């Protein structure tokens, strides 16, 4: 019996060591860019319409349509929104969160959103990184916020305020589309107060459709709820965050 017990312990020890061996080497906190690849600072300094080459990590996929993929990506220094990148459906399936990609394209600005323009190309590289949401609670309403454009972020303790009135004339905690002209499955809009300022947040239906937890969570919000949120700091004529998680406190 003792022999068997000892054998089991030995196996477990070996298994633990092996499991440790299989752990990927921790990613460096700073990205080491390949030859000809821009740093985040160089990308941001590039002029609109300039050719850009970046290495970045997929954080979320918004959509794929007719060989065009739209992605939220980020490296250790900043985020890159990639709009309608040339991508087959087969390759799109490979772009799971964390996947490292090298993207070649042109820098663009659309209503304030800095992005890589339609038609960029990409290749998958070795490496993986999932960003940790940066807490921007203190930065909403300041000029510093735009420096975090497209990053995965969090806000703590936001208070839901009425976005408008519904057809019954009651205060609504959310709208389908910006003016409540939509229906279930469309983008959700809701308004929160952070400090003294109010901001409109969006559940982008291509990113998080009506089957997702965040879609349901927002539909269940009530005016006055205090919430923590996570999402991507998208920009459209000002901050227009795309929310991926809502927790009612």
Partner 1 sequence: MKRAVCLILSVLMLVPFLSACHGSKGLKAFEMPDGLDENKEYRITFWAKNDTNKTQVNIYKNAIADFEALYPNIHVELRLYTDYGKIYNDVITNISTGTTPNVCITYPDHIATYMTGENVMVPLDGLMDDPRFGLGGSEVRFDSPKRDEVIARYLDEGVIGGKHWALPFMRSTEALYVNRDYVEKLGYTLPEVVTWDFIWEVSEAALRKNDDGTYFLNGGSVMIPFIYKSSDNMMIQYLRQAGADYSDENGNIGIFSDATKDFLFTVAEHAGSRAFSTFKISSYPGNFLNAGQCVFGIDSTAGATWMGSKAGHQDISSDKLVDFEMAVLPIPQVDPDNPVMISQGPSVAIFNKKDPGEVLASWLFAQFLLTNKVQIAYAETEGYVPVTEKARKDPGYEDYLARAGEDSELHYSVKLAATKLLLDNVDNTFITPVFNGSASLRDAAGELIEATSKSARRNETVDEAYMEKLFKSVNALYRLDQRGESAAERSELGKLPATAVVLLSALGAAWLGIGAYGIMHIAKKKKR
Task: Identify the three-state secondary structure at position 97.
Answer: coil
Is residue 106 at the binding interface for partner 1, with CB under 8 A as the rule? yes
Asked if 90 and 75 touch (Cβ cutoff 8 Å), the reply is: no
Using alpha carbons, select from 170, 188, 195, 196 the residue that is nearest to residue 246. 188
For partner 1, which is the closer residue by CB, 45 or 50? 50
For partner 1, which is the closer residue by CB, 100 or 242? 242
Nearest-approach distance from CB 200 to partner 1, in angstroms? 11
Locus of tokens 């030995």: 10
Is residue 111 at the binding interface for partner 1, with CB under 8 A as the rule? yes
Asked if 147 and 161 touch (Cβ cutoff 8 Å), the reply is: no
DSSP state string for 197-239:
EEEEEEE-TTTS-TTSHHHHHHHT--TT-EEEEEEE--BSSSB
Is residue 180 at the binding interface for partner 1, with CB under 8 A as the rule? yes
CA distance 103 to 39: 12
Mask: binding to partner 1, 216-245, rule CB under 8 A, as x and -? Answer: --------------------xxx-------
Is residue 183 at the binding interface for partner 1, with CB under 8 A as the rule? yes
CA distance 67 to 48: 24
Is residue 181 at the binding interface for partner 1, with CB under 8 A as the rule? yes
For partner 1, which is the closer residue by CB, 176 or 215? 176
Nearest-approach distance from CB 164 to partner 1, in angstroms? 10
Mask: binding to partner 1, 32-51, rule CB under 8 A, as x and -? Answer: -----------------xxx
Is residue 179 at the binding interface for partner 1, with CB under 8 A as the rule? yes
Q: Which residues bind partner 1 (CB under 8 A)?
A: 49-51, 106, 108-111, 117-118, 177-183, 236-238
């Amino acid at each position: 019996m003792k022999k068997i017990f000892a054998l089991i312990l030995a196996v477990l020890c070996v298994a633990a060591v092996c499991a440790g061996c299989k752990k990927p080497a921790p990613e460096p906190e700073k990205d080491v860019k390949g030859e000809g690849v821009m740093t985040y600072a160089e990308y941001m300094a590039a002029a609109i319409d300039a050719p850009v080459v970046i290495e970045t990590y997929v954080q979320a996929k918004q959509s794929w349509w007719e060989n065009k993929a739209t992605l939220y990506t980020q490296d250790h220094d900043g985020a890159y929104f990639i709009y309608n990148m040339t991508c087959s459906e087969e390759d799109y399936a490979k772009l799971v969160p964390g996947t490292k990609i090298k993207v070649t394209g042109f820098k663009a600005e659309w209503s304030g959103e800095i992005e890589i323009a339609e038609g960029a190309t990409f290749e998958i590289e070795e490496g993986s990184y999932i960003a940790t949401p940066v807490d921007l609670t203190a930065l909403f309403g300041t000029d510093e916020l735009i420096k975090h454009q497209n990053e995965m972020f969090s806000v703590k303790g936001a208070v839901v305020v009425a976005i408008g009135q519904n057809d019954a004339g009651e205060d609504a905690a959310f709208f389908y589309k910006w003016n409540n002209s939509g229906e279930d499955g469309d983008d959700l809009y809701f308004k929160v107060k952070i400090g003294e300022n109010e901001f409109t947040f969006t559940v982008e239906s291509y990113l998080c459709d009506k089957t997702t937890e965040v879609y349901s969570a927002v539909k269940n919000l009530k005016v006055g709820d205090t919430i923590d949120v996570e999402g991507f700091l998208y920009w459209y004529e000002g901050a227009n965050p795309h929310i991926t998680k809502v927790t009612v406190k």
